[in-house]
A and B are shown apart, each in its own frame.
Chain A
């Protein structure tokens, strides 16, 4: 069994009286690829922010490599260890791109972690080449297309070389070519035994990429946690959690009712 990276115990989070998450418990081991599935507003993004120490549980605890991720801990020596090991790709790249150029954007993280200047330059140049975005080097991030922004946002996190990657809706708004690009990059990183936690609505990405799936239902609790193949084959569970839906349409005189996602077949005539 690989080392336990995260241990989440009885975690709840509320905005006033509104719960975003209720009594969540699970663990994540090194090298695991975990897909977090859930309908809109079930608390997936909040969970990822908590895993990145950006917001903190109102109840329960989150431990990273045995140390509790708390505001106090992140004011001390633990901050550097945590920030260089955990990277977070935000769903909206505009939020994440705040430097004057793409080069500066990639250099931001390593510079804050006080890596030697030469090492930072080397990392940034090699990442620009690796991700095929060298032509964007001196461009201002706001002049980029959505796909390019996403690539730069991912690169800006990879430049820290984190062991754990938290990805919030990574394929959101991406064209098919960029989605394939992203998938290939993630596959290469997976070979390096990095840990992934990915919140998404993209079932095909989860099916292809994650070995384990956690489903958060509309009651903000964990509805399922298990191997991806098992969870994604449970149609009733996915329907209950509002992750897939049934859809009616007609071909001539025949009416079909069928679900979308992994159960998209035309054999459910009515």
Chain B
């Protein structure tokens, strides 16, 4: 093998000292995204912490847990009464307590959707969206702007409904191991191919996110000058394209791996075990809540 000859510039020693003490610059667009992705990944992995606890919800059969929770979610979407939603919040709070889930853990997962819902519902509070009796008047001229009782009622109801539904689903996911969740879905009348596709999306998104994270760190390790936002955004877009290509290659390889082990278009899986008395009790209770939502 030919001997490697190093160019002269490679041999020059660096003599200047490293500068320190300058003002610390805030993270740029890429770094912020990277941090968000990394924290999301860490959070999802740590979800199993509550699922591993020996709480009441955790002790239920996964099928019963999913079906019962979905029944209460359906009740929230059907009801048109504040009292019903308030009742669901009480149930949610009790379930949280008896399942060993901390309020903060649940609140952290519900907060983004709460903020989003608030942003959506915000105009509904005002007289120009929901005319009615003024609850709080800001000004009359040149146009009247006020919050109305009717707007408050509609907006708050909408927010309560969405928050209760999101909280129920968040509690379900917190108290259910991901593996059990997908197994539970498989035994419900959901098409197996759909559940498999859903699981695989969840499974492989992490690998692709890891590629994205590594790619960003590799860039960061070689970036000295501060890049323009537009440059960062262009680079980010090019990485998304790369990840899309990688995901297509991976989909092909996974398909081959499945075919190699006998998959021929229809997934065959194990059935879950039998449900116990407490599972039926929970299903009865959640069905009762659903029943009440029609009348209340």
A95 in contact with B257 (CB, 8 Å): yes
Interface size, B (range): 20 to 34
Contact of B262 among A141, A160, A248 (CB under 8 A): A160
In the complex with contacts A140-B178, A140-B179, A143-B45, A112-B261 CB distance below 8 A = yes
B260 at the interface (CB under 8 A from A): yes
Tell me, yes or no, whether A210 is within 8 Å of chain B by CB. Answer: no
One digit per residue, 1 when the CB lies within 8 angstroms of any chain B CB and 0 when it does not, for chain A 225-248 equals 000000000000000000001111
Confirm or deny: A34 has a beta carbon within 8 angstroms of a beta carbon on chain B. Answer: no
| B268 to chain A: closest residue by CB | A111
Determine the residue in chain B with the shortest Cβ distance to A79: B264
Could you tell me if A84 and B250 are in contact, using CB atoms closer than 8 angstroms? no
Is A6 positioned at the interface, with any CB of B under 8 Å from its CB? no
Q: Judge whether A64 is part of the interface by a CB distance below 8 angstroms.
A: no
The proximity string for A residues 146-182 relative to B, scoring 1 for CB distances below 8 Å and 0 otherwise, is: 0000000000110010000000000000000000000
CB of B203 within 8 A of CB of A84, answer no
**Contacting residues of chain B (229-258) with chain A, CB-CB under 8 angstroms:** 250, 253-254, 256-258
Say yes or no: A112-B254 contact (C-beta < 8 A), given A101-B179, A143-B45. no
Q: Determine the chain A residues whose CB is within 8 A of the CB of B179 once the complex forms.
A: 100-101, 104, 138, 140
Q: Does A109 contact B (CB under 8 A)?
A: yes
Chain B residues near A112 (CB-CB < 8 A)? 261-264, 267-268
A223 CB to closest chain B CB (Å) equals 19
* Chain A residues whose CB sits within 8 angstroms of the CB of B178 once the complex forms: 100, 140
Cβ B3 vs Cβ A157 within 8 A: no
Given contacts A92-B253, A100-B182, A114-B268, contact A246 B262 (CB under 8 A): no
The answer to whether A109 touches B262 (Cβ under 8 A) is yes
Residue B183 CB within 8 A of the other chain: yes
- Write out the residue numbers on chain B whose beta carbons fall within 8 Å of the beta carbon of A247: 1
How many Å lie between the Cα of A108 and that of B259 in the bound state?
A: 11
B22 at the interface (CB under 8 A from A): no
Q: With the chains together, A52 CA to B257 CA distance in Å?
A: 10
Question: A106–B183 Cα gap in the complex (Å)?
Answer: 15
How distant is the Cα of A120 from the Cα of B180 in the complex, in angstroms?
Answer: 19
Decide if B207 is an interface residue (CB 8 Å cutoff).
yes
Given the interface pairs A92-B253, A104-B269, the reply to whether A109 lies near B261 with Cβ below 8 Å is yes
B105 interface residue, CB < 8 Å from A? no
Count of A residues near B, CB < 8 Å? 41
**Contact yes or no, A83 B200, CB < 8 A:** no
From A91, which residue of chain B is reached at the shortest CB distance? B253
Residues of B within 8 A of A90 (CB): 253, 256-257, 260
B157 within 8 A of A: no
The answer to the question of A183 belonging to the interface, with a C-beta cut-off of 8 Å to chain B, is: no
A107 touching B257 in the complex, CB below 8 Å, given contacts A100-B182, A100-B199, A142-B206: no
Q: Does A26 contact B (CB under 8 A)?
A: no
Pairwise interchain contact B261-A54, C-beta atoms closer than 8 A? no
Contact present for A95 and B254 (CB under 8 Å): yes
A43 at the interface (CB under 8 A from B): no
Interface residues of A in 103-143 (CB under 8 A from B): 104, 107-109, 111-114, 117, 120-121, 138, 140-143
Q: A166 — nearest CB in chain B belongs to which residue?
A: B260
A114's nearest neighbour on chain B, judged by CB, is: B268
**Minimum CB–CB distance for A247 against chain B, Å:** 7
User: When A143-B45, A248-B1 are in contact, do A95 and B260 touch as well, CB less than 8 Å?
Assistant: no
Closest Cβ of chain A to B59, distance in Å, is 16
How distant is A36 from chain B, measured CB to nearest CB, in Å? 17
B contact set with A: CB distance below 8 Å: 1, 3, 45, 177-180, 182-183, 199-200, 203, 206-207, 250, 253-254, 256-264, 267-271
4 pairs of A and B residues whose beta carbons are closest in the complex: A112-B262, A100-B179, A109-B261, A95-B253
Q: Could you list some 30 contacts between A and B, CB below 8 A? A: A49-B256, A52-B260, A54-B259, A83-B262, A88-B257, A88-B260, A90-B257, A94-B207, A95-B250, A98-B257, A100-B180, A107-B270, A109-B261, A109-B262, A111-B268, A111-B269, A111-B270, A112-B261, A112-B262, A112-B263, A112-B264, A112-B267, A112-B268, A140-B178, A140-B179, A142-B207, A160-B261, A245-B1, A246-B1, A248-B3
Given A98-B254, A114-B268, A257-B1, 5 other A-B contacts at CB below 8 A? Answer: A92-B253, A95-B257, A104-B183, A112-B267, A113-B262
